[in-house]
Structures are given as structure tokens and as C-alpha cells.
């Protein structure tokens, strides 16, 4: 199949990846209500078609996270991407750079920051969690600086893992006895192309950024145990002062949904925030990110950049997010599936598709410059109709 949209890459990835990896990307927490809302609430936003407005020279380039980008988009931090394709984080970083958009390397990447940073010319953006082992945190910040990182993304909504039923059923998490290992081995044998490309040729199969903290091994089982010991549910806004004292680069907070938290982020000196519910992988029952966005934008009142993460599957979705006040978006599952389906070439193709979809959506809503996109790109909706619709989904 020749992929024509993000969903096509999802279907291709489902064929190529072992089930436990596909479900890890595709699934969310608990009943996956919030994950589905992220997509459905974007789809409900109707665009306002305009005509005869001279859109012969549409411009998509803008400023995002301190750099000039070809379109208002960045690749979100995705864990374990090195298991979706051989040395997957390196392939994705190169594809993002070729497309002129930022790549955010996850702390939970298979490829360590020292491997990915030299593979590209632009400085990496690096994502990190607040963990109990502050010595490791300081060492990780030093490694990021040494690798040329200028922007740090702190994920603040992962103080503990929410149960993900699909991962339990696929034996990625939960019981790790003989039956679970046998089930994963059977899935690997069912996918020989992945087994050869990633399983045989794609090693080492460790979480490179955490290897120094896990001398007994940095595989998935060791990482899961280490996370349960070190993710810190006691963190508060005061802990960000600790980060600010040790990081003189740009600081982005990812995982903001509430306007009060957005205002506090401004007060503590964040340079940008990402409206995110972790792709529906943490608090199931939380609002979609597009539903939370307008109140957060109002709370920030233009003082810092606001990006949206969650549910973006097309260039049309990007336009919807911009219309409600986002400066740009992060895409996660979209690039993970493209990588799993076709490697770095798949990520490149997916980014070009998003660019073309955004360009067409801009033109058909009468906008020739990305900076001009605002609420007028959407159809006005009656507030009572919005409330009735929300009540009907309860």
C-alpha cells in the first residue's frame, strides 16, 4: 500500500511491528477515553471556507521554540522509538531536520543523546522527567549541554505510570514470566522483517540515556523497575527552581491542561508550555487537549509560546489548533507509526503529507500566511450547542 495519510502509516505499522510494540504506540491508559477525545474533538471543529482571496503564495514558515521552522510543527518525544526501526531516533531526527522542523529526543529513547546529536546539524531539543535521583538529573543536564542542547522539555504529567490495559494484554508490562516471554517471542517470529532489521541489526536494545544509572542492564524490564523507584510523585512547582538554577537554556513544560497551571508556568519562568494529556496515556477522563487549549491560551495572554500535543493526524488538524491560539503543534503517534512502517523515509513522507495538507487547508480558508491564522478560520458555534454536545457525550 502506498500511504496517503497518517492512518495508512498506522495500518502499515500494524502489519510490520510485533503486536506488543504496535499496541504500545497505539494505546492509551485505562479505557482510552481521553485518547479518543483528542482526535474526535479536533474533528468536530468546522473550518470556514473562503474564496477569491489570492492565496497564490502561501507561507508556512514561522518561529517555534527559538528557531525558524518550515511549518509550525515539531516531532514530540516518543519513548522506545529505536525499537520501531533500526536506530529509529537517529532516522527520525534526520528526517525532521531535512523537513525543517524540530525533533525532540525522549529521555526514554533507545539511542542515547550522544548518538543522536552528532547525526544532525541543528541542536537537539531534549525531553526529561523530574526524578528522585538528583545526581542523575544533574549528570543528564550536563550531558545535554555537552551535546549542544539549547531547549529542555520537562514532562510534568508523568509522576507515576497509569495502567495501560493493552500493554498488559500484550505482555509488554505486567507479568514477565515464561508465558509472557514466550508470547513476545512468538510475535517477533511472526514479523521476520522487523526481527532482522531491528532485532538482529538494530542493537544495542537498551535505553541509552539511562544506561549509566542501571549497571545491571538498561533493557525494558530494568527500566520499568527503575522508573517505579525513581519517578517522583512529591515534585512541586518549587522543584522547577532547582532545574532553573542548573539549566541556562530555554525551558518548556509539557503536560499543562489547566489555566491555573499555565499561569503558574509563566510565573516560574517557563519559555513555553505544551498543552498535553500525554496522548491520553495518563489521566483517562481528562479533557482533550484541543478542548483545554482556549482557556490556557487566555491564561497565558501572549506571554509565552503555547504548543498543542495530542490528536494531530493531518494538516487540517494543525490549522484547527492554530485557529484556537496554538503557536504550533507536536505530533507523536503520527511519526511513530510512519517510522515503524517505513523507517526514516516514512517520517519524511509523513511530514511532506502534513505540509501539503496544511498548505491546502490554508488556501481554502483564505489564508496566505501562517501568522494570519486565527479564530476566523473556524465556523462560529453557538455556545448552547457546544454545551448540549458536551452533555450528550457524558
Q: What is the pLDDT of residues 113-163, one digit of tens each?
A: 999 999 999 999 999 998 888 899 999 999 999 999 999 999 999 888 888
Ordered DSSP codes for 261-304: HHHHHHHTT-SEEEE--GGGTSSTTPPPHHHHHHHHHHHHTTSS
- Angle between helix 333-364 and helix 88-99 axes, rounded to 10 deg: 10
The vertex-272 CA angle with 288 and 118, nearest 5°, equals 105
Sorted by where each begins, the domain ranges of the chain are 6-392
Number of other CB atoms surrounding residue 257 within 10 Å: 22
Question: For residue 5, what is its C-alpha cell?
Answer: 495519510
| Pairing mode, strands 250-256 and 62-64 | unpaired
Per-residue pLDDT of 50-99, as tens digits, reads: 999 999 999 999 999 999 999 999 999 999 999 999 999 999 999 999 99
Cβ contacts of 180-188, under 8 Å, gap ≥ 24: 183/20, 184/18, 184/20, 187/18, 187/19, 187/20, 188/18
Measure Cα distances from 268 to 85, 156, 259, 263 in Å.
38, 14, 14, 9
- Residue 107 contacts residue 77 (beta carbons within 8 Å): yes
Of 3.30.70.100, 3.10.20.90, 3.20.20.70, 1.10.287.3510, the CATH number of 6-392 is: 3.20.20.70
Question: For residue 219, what is its C-alpha cell?
Answer: 533493557
pTM of the model: 0.93
- Residue 89 contacts residue 110 (beta carbons within 8 Å): yes
End-to-end Cα distance, the chain: 38
CA-nearest of 377, 375, 329, 373 to 354 is 329
278 flagged as catalytic: yes
Catalytic entry in 191, 205, 278, 327: 278
Per-residue pLDDT of 213-254, as tens digits, reads: 776 665 566 666 667 677 788 889 999 999 999 999 999 999
Amino acid at each position: 500500500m502506498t500511504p496517503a495519510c497518517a492512518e495508512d502509516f498506522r495500518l502499515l505499522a500494524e502489519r510490520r511491528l510485533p503486536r506488543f510494540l504496535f499496541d504500545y504506540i497505539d494505546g492509551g491508559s485505562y479505557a482510552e477515553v481521553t485518547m479518543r477525545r483528542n482526535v474526535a474533538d479536533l474533528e468536530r471543529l468546522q473550518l470556514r471556507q473562503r474564496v477569491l482571496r489570492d492565496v497564490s503564495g502561501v507561507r508556512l514558515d514561522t518561529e517555534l521554540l527559538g528557531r525558524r521552522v518550515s511549518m509550525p510543527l515539531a516531532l514530540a518525544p516518543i519513548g522506545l522509538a529505536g525499537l520501531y526501526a533500526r536506530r529509529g531516533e537517529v532516522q527520525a531526527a534526520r528526517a525532521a531536520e531535512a523537513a525543517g522542523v524540530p525533533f525532540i529526543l525522549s529521555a526514554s529513547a533507545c539511542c542515547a543523546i550522544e548518538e543522536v546529536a552528532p547525526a544532525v546539524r541543528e541542536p537537539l531539543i531534549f525531553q526529561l522527567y523530574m526524578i528522585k535521583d538528583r545526581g542523575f538529573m544533574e549528570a543528564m543536564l550536563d550531558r545535554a549541554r555537552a551535546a549542544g542542547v539549547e531547549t529542555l522539555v520537562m514532562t510534568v504529567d508523568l509522576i507515576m505510570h497509569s495502567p495501560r490495559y493493552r500493554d498488559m494484554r500484550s505482555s509488554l508490562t505486567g507479568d514477565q514470566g515464561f508465558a509472557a516471554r514466550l508470547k513476545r517471542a512468538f510475535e517477533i517470529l511472526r514479523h521476520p522483517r522487523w526481527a532482522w532489521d531491528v532485532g538482529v541489526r538494530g542493537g544495542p536494545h537498551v535505553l541509552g540515556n539511562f544506561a549509566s544509572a542501571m549497571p545491571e542492564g538498561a533493557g525494558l524490564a530494568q527500566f520499568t523497575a527503575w522508573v517505579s523507584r525513581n519517578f517522583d510523585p512529591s515534585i512541586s512547582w518549587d522543584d522547577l527552581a532547582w532545574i532553573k538554577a542548573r539549566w541556562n537554556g530555554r525551558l518548556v513544560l509539557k503536560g499543562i491542561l489547566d489555566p491555573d497551571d499555565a499561569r503558574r508556568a509563566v510565573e516560574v519562568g517557563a519559555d513555553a508550555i505544551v498543552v498535553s494529556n500525554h496522548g491520553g496515556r495518563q489521566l483517562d477522563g481528562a479533557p482533550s487537549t484541543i478542548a483545554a487549549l482556549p482557556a490556557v491560551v487566555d491564561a497565558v495572554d501572549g506571554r509565552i509560546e503555547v504548543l498543542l500535543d495530542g490528536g494531530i493526524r493531518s494538516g487540517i488538524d494543525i490549522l484547527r489548533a492554530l485557529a484556537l491560539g496554538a503557536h504550533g503543534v507536536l505530533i507523536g503517534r503520527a511519526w511513530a507509526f510512519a517510522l515503524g512502517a517505513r523507517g526514516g523515509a516514512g517520517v519524511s513522507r509523513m511530514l511532506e503529507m502534513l505540509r501539503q495538507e496544511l498548505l491546502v487547508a490554508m488556501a481554502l480558508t483564505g489564508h496566505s500566511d501562517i501568522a494570519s491564522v486565527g479564530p476566523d478560520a473556524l465556523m462560529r458555534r453557538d455556545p448552547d450547542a457546544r454545551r448540549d454536545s458536551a452533555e450528550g457525550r457524558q
